[in-house]
Every structure is written in structure tokens, then in C-alpha cells.
Amino acid sequence: MSPQHAADERDDLRPDGPKSLNHASGQSLVLGLESSCDETAAAVLRGDGTILAEAVLSQEAEHARFGGVVPEIAARAHLAALPAMVARVMARAGIGFDALAAVAATAGPGLIGGLIVGAGLGKGIAIARGLPYLAINHLEGHALTARIPGIVASGAPVFPYLLLLLSGGHCQCVAVEGVGRYRRLGTTLDDAVGEAFDKAAKILGLPWPGGPHLERLAASGDARRVALPRPLLGRDGCDFSWSGLKTAVAQRVAKGDAAASDIAASFQAAVAAVLADRAAHALAMLPGATALVVAGGVAANGAVRAALSGVAASRGVALVAPPIRLCTDNAVMIAWAGIERLNRGLVDTLGHAPRPRWPLEELRGAPGQ
């Protein structure tokens, strides 16, 4: 989690006329805002992918006692934190709002209250400075993060590539064919994989959010001591199902005949095996894939990364995994998605309304890319 930087509460917004900028230039600067769930984030990126400043504020403490994210609390926290965070990030980047080429804000999918806060602030800055506004799909942010120049050692993947999106709200295999051009190859039939981690952790008596706690507990366990199912393993296609695995964890805990660490280790091993199997099937469905890209909070799990690395190697493609801090929700990915879309002339109107549900397949891309 990126620390917040020294405060600069100065608000220097003022009306300004429309700008004439070379939006394709690597020197163009984009401000990104993220507020789709329980992380408040802002970042400034240059067109060549250089991160000038970034900040993320977790709301974990506000939601932990409820065992999950409370939408009303999340929206109020975004409203309280985001304006001052933007001022601090701009100050740390060493620029004024006049230097921006555009403002990009998450406009969906996510919790509607938080989306309204972030999109509203982004539109306000765009209006005040006469800037282009970019309504960013949160999932496209994850899909394009690996393309930030220099962010991964293997180099930015070229289209098309396979995206395995693994988070608390999503579990999908997606063919990424270009900016704004996506085909969903498979998805979960019930829980998202991050949700399954959190539910299994809760059953084991671990704090929320459960994924990191379960991974730490699993490190001291032996997966071979507890047999758990591997849902849809070996089946055609690349859909997922996690509810049966979660139920099996509850049943083993209720029996009381196995150590919690062994159950955690077996659960993690089952998830990693299923993800590897589904990714292999998805790669077979996308024979021209140049890489396997993994993104979302669950992509930070070491066992999952190791399993997917083996699949990628066996298929002769690179596994591309962004740094862990960019796997979870952040504004760097929103600013970069904004840069990718701005460079293709995919600017949005100020009338673009936030969407709590917004499938990737409904995005528009530039013709002929």
C-alpha cells in the first residue's frame, strides 16, 4: 500500500479555457482517480508511463468490524479523503492543474456512491480547467496495467493477450485484443475467487480481509493432510466455480479433525490448481496470445503466481504480473488506461454516468487498432 504523502491543502482550481495539446505525446500528464470500492487513490502519470506521484488510502479499519465493505461508509470516506489527496499528489508531482492533458476517473463497475464521488470530482476538475474527461472502466484499468512501460521485467505485452482477472468481485478469463476490445472467454458461476478466499478465511476464524491472512496461515500448513475438491478441474472451457470448495472448507472445520493451517494450505492449493487449469484451457481458446497477464488482488498470492507461471511456461508464453501494489485497486492503472484511451481519441462527455455494472465487452475501442 503506497503511503500518503505530505499534505498540501492548497486548492488552486480556477476556470480556464480549452487547451490545445498533443495528446499522443509521451510528455502529456494525466491525473487518475480511483474510488470504486474501499480504496481511495490518486495518481499522476506522464504519457510515457512514468509515475510522477501516487497515493492510496485503505479503508480497511472502517469496514473490518463489519466483516466486509459497507457501501455508505465507503462513499463518505471517499468524499472526505479524495479532494485533499488530489492536492497532495499534484504537489508531490510538482505540477499545477494547468499542466494536465486530461483527467481520468473510475466510472464503473463498483459501488455507486464511491463512483459518483470520484467521477464527480474528475468532471469538476475537467470543467474548471477545460480538460478532456475520461470515464474509465475499472476492469480495463486492471487489463492494461501490464502495458505500462517498464512496469514488468518481461516488457509490456502486445495485443492480443490473455487476462486472468482475479479479485474480490471478479473472476474472468478475457481475451484482450486492443484498448476497448475485449472478449470474455470464461467467468465464475458463483463466487469470485477473492470472495472465496475471504469466506474461507472467515470460516477459519481469520480477520477480514481474509486473503492475506489465509496465505500466511497456509505457509505453516501441509495441503496433503486435507483433501478438498478442485471444482471444474479438467472440464471444457474456462469457467470457474468456488462455492463447493468453500462449503468443503466449512465441513472440514466443523468436523474438527484437521489443523486450521492444513485446511488453509489445502484450500490455497486447490484454488491455485483450478486457476492454472482454467488458464491453460483459456490459452488453448486464444492460440495467438502473446502473454498470460494476471491482475486483481488475488494476483498477489504467491501460490497462485507460481501455478500460473508453470502454465505460461508450458504454453511458451510469458506470465506478466504487475507489482503487487498495482494488483490491488489503485489510481496508477486508472491514469494509464486514460493515457491509452486519450492517445486513441477515446474521450468521454461530461454526461457519462457512473455504472455499478459495466462489462468489459460493452466498451468502445478505436477503429482499426
Q: Are residues 167 and 118 in the same domain?
A: no
118 carries a ligand binding annotation? no
Q: Quick check: is 102 in a domain?
A: yes
Report the Cα–Cα distance between both ends of the chain, in Å, rounded: 35
55, 20 contact by CB (below 8 A): no
Count the Cβ atoms, other than its own, within 10 Å of residue 38: 25
The answer to whether 63 is annotated as binding is no
Amino acid at 319: L
**281 and 348 inside one domain:** no
Q: Check whether residue 229 and residue 110 sit in a common domain.
A: no
Q: What pLDDT is attached to residue 369?
A: 58
**Does residue 151 fall inside a structural domain?**
no
Work out the pLDDT band at 64, boundaries 50, 70, 90.
confident
Residue 36 known to bind ligand: no
Whether residue 135 lies inside any domain: the answer is yes
Q: Is 78 annotated as a binding residue?
A: no
Q: Are residues 276 and 184 in the same domain?
A: yes
Are residues 301 and 346 both part of a single domain?
Answer: no
CATH number, residue 171:
3.30.420.40
Residue 348 lies in a domain: yes
Residues 188-208 as b/e (b if ≥16 CB within 10 A, e otherwise) read beebbbbbbbbbbbbbbebeb
**Residue 25 annotated in ligand binding:** no
Cβ density class 299-308: b for 16+ within 10 Å, e for less? bbbebbbebb
pLDDT above 90: residue 364: no
Q: For the chain, what percent of residues have pLDDT higher than 70?
A: 92
Domain carrying residue 35: 29-146+327-362
What pLDDT score does 341 carry?
97
Annotated binding residue 142 = yes
The answer to whether residue 367 is domain-embedded is no
168 labeled part of a ligand binding site:
yes
- For residue 10, being part of any structural domain is answered with no
Residues 72 and 208 in one domain: no
pLDDT in tens, 161-179: 999 999 988 999 999 999 9
Between vectors from CA 86 to CA 12 and to CA 114, what angle results, nearest 5°?
125
| Res 203 pLDDT > 80 | yes
Distance of CA 45 to the CA centre of its chain: 17
Q: Taking residues 207-222, what's their average pLDDT?
A: 96
Q: For residues 64 and 197, state if they share a domain.
A: no
Q: What is the pLDDT of residues 289-309, one digit of tens each?
A: 999 999 999 999 999 999 999
Q: Are residues 226 and 284 in the same domain?
A: yes
Mean pLDDT of all residues belonging to the chain: 91
User: pTM of the full predicted structure?
Assistant: 0.90
Q: Would you say residue 13 has pLDDT above 60?
A: no
pLDDT in tens, 230-260: 999 999 999 999 999 999 999 999 999 999 9
Local confidence band at 19 (pLDDT 50, 70, 90 cut-offs)? very low
On the question of pLDDT at 3 being above 70, the answer is no
What is the grid cell recorded at 8?
A: 498540501
| 155 is an annotated ligand-binding site residue | no
**Is 337 found in the same domain as 354?**
yes
pLDDT for 8 equals 29
Q: How far is CA 115 from CA 100, 118, 172, in A?
A: 22, 5, 22
- Whether residue 133 is contained in a domain is answered as yes
Is 356:111 a contact under the CB 8 Å cutoff? Answer: yes
Coil, helix or strand for 209? coil
Query: Within this chain, do residues 136 and 201 fall inside the same structural domain, yes or no?
Result: no
Q: Report whether pLDDT(16) > 60.
A: no
Residue 189 labeled ligand binder: no
- 167 labeled binding residue: yes
What is the number of structural domains in the chain?
2
Confidence grade of residue 368 (pLDDT, cut at 50, 70, 90): low
For residues 113 and 130, state if they share a domain.
Answer: yes
pLDDT digits (tens, 9 = 90+) for 124-173: 999 999 999 999 999 999 999 999 999 987 789 999 999 999 998 899 99
The answer on whether 137 is annotated among ligand-binding residues is no
CB 296 within 8 A of CB 169: no
Q: Which residues, 6 or more positions from 209, have their beta carbon under 8 angstroms from its beta carbon?
A: 60, 168, 198, 201
Residues 90 and 119 in one domain: yes
Return the pLDDT at 25: 59
Helices (H), 256-331: 260-285, 302-314
- 138 annotated as ligand-binding: yes
Q: Look at residue 310 and tell me if it is in a domain.
A: yes
